[in-house]
Amino acid sequence: MSHAPAKASSETRKQLFRVWRGDKTAGTFKDYTATVTPGMVVLDVIHQIQAEQANDLACRWNCKAGKCGSCSAEINGKPRLMCMTRMDELPTDMPVVVEPMKAFPLIKDLVTDVSWNYDVKKKIKPFKPRKPDAPDGTWRMDQADVDRVQEFRKCIECFLCQDVCHVLRDHHKHEEFIGPRFLVYTAALEMHPLDTEDRLADLRKSQGLGYCNITKCCTKVCPEHITITDNAIIPLKERVVDEYFDPVTKLFKMFKKKT
């Protein structure tokens, strides 16, 4: 089955939208025909539908610039930001399907309750810097070392990575697994050149790092193009291996501590 993506044109056209309507008790898809003009993104169309055809359609949004992470949804089955999905990227020969995220409880229509994420974040051990390097209370770091963790700080907390992760989405392991977003957050702390806190025991036991089976779906959907799996999750897995699964490294560490 092939679909023709819309070509950037100056023409206004009609496009069928299939939007999820409902709340936590029940819901269904409803069809809306929207007028699409050049340069529009999916969020524009949702706003148009809201203004002209369904005033009670719930959707969360804020910056409309891909930086606040509010308008996360599933567009044609893929977790994406509605404000960053251009209409001319989507096929024109079939309805554009817009659904709420699947890994979180639905509140209404396209709005989900993502508060679980805030609870998770509170349980991650905070930044604990070493003693200052200089008498004036400042530290010295190599820029290259700072750059490594800087990538992780691009996260806008849209939670699309959490949504696409099958451990949360399909297996509902919310009680045992913190999800890619917070593995990135932990990696930013754990790999920070100044940090002295040890989070490996938590990662292995209560935060479920082992549940990740490296599908790389989180990396694929990240609107900030953070290399979540390769640069954050796998390095954390390797650190956990050092600590718990590699007897040689463990022995070497013990020997090093004694000498």
Partner 1 sequence: MSRVNVPLPQPRSLAETSRQDRWWVQPLAVFLGLTAFLVYANWAAFQASNFFASAAHPTVSLFGGTKSVAHYLSPMYSPVLYDIPGMTSGHAWFGEAPSWLVSLWDFIPGSYSPAFLILIFPAGFRLTCYYYRGAYYKAFWGDPLNCAVGEPGFRGKKYRGEAKLPLILMNIHRYFLYAALVFILILSYDALISYWFTNPDTGKGSFGIGVGSLILTINPILLGGYTLGCHSLRHLVGGKKDCIGAKGLRRTSYECVSCLNRGHMKWAWFSLVWVGFTDFYVRMVASGAWTDYRLF
Residues of this chain, 111-150, that bind partner 1 according to CB under 8 A = 113, 115-116, 119-120, 123, 141-145, 148
Of the residues 52, 133, 170, 198, which one makes contact with partner 1 according to CB under 8 A = 170
How near is the Cβ of 8 to partner 1 at its closest, in Å? Answer: 20
157 close to 224: Cβ distance less than 8 angstroms? no
* Least separation in angstroms between CB 56 and partner 1: 20
Structure tokens at 41: 């993104």
Q: Is 252 in the site for partner 1 (CB under 8 A)?
A: no
Minimum distance of partner 1 from residue 119's CB (angstroms)? 5
Using CA atoms, how far residue 103 sits from 27, 58, 99, 162, 224, in Å, is 16, 18, 12, 7, 20
Percent of the chain that is helix, strand, coil (3-state, to 5): 40, 15, 45
**Tokens for 186?**
């932990």
In angstroms, what is the minimal distance from the CB of 237 to partner 1? 8
Count, residues near partner 1 per rule CB under 8 A = 73
- Span of 8-16, 37-45, 52-60, 185-193 interacting with partner 1 by CB under 8 A: 185-193
The helix-helix angle for 179-190 and 115-122 (nearest 10°) equals 30
Scanning residues 37 to 66, which ones bind partner 1 (CB under 8 A)?
none
Asked if 254 touches partner 1 (CB under 8 A), the answer is: no
Q: Does residue number 206 form part of the binding site for partner 1 (CB under 8 A)? A: yes
CB of 10 to partner 1, least distance (A): 26
Angle at CA 243, nearest 5°, toward 239 and 247? 120
Are 237 and 207 in contact, with CB atoms under 8 Å apart? no
Q: Residue 168, exposed/middle/buried by CB under 10 A (0-12, 13-18, 19+)? A: buried
Sheet harboring 27-36: ordered strands across?
27-36, 13-22, 96-99, 72-75, 78-81
Q: How far apart are CB 138 and partner 1 at their closest, in Å?
A: 16
> Is residue 246 part of the contact set for partner 1 (CB under 8 A)?
yes
Closest to partner 1 by CB, 67 vs 166, is 166
Site string for partner 1, 80-109 (x = CB under 8 A): -----------x--x--x-x--xxxxxx--
Pairing relationship of beta strands 72-75 and 27-36 according to DSSP bridges: unpaired
Closer of 52 and 198 to partner 1 (Cβ): 198
DSSP β-bridge partners for residue 27: 22
Our CB check for partner 1 shows the closer of 67 and 227 to be 227
**251 touches partner 1 by CB under 8 A:** no
Residue (39 or 105) nearer to partner 1, CB: 105
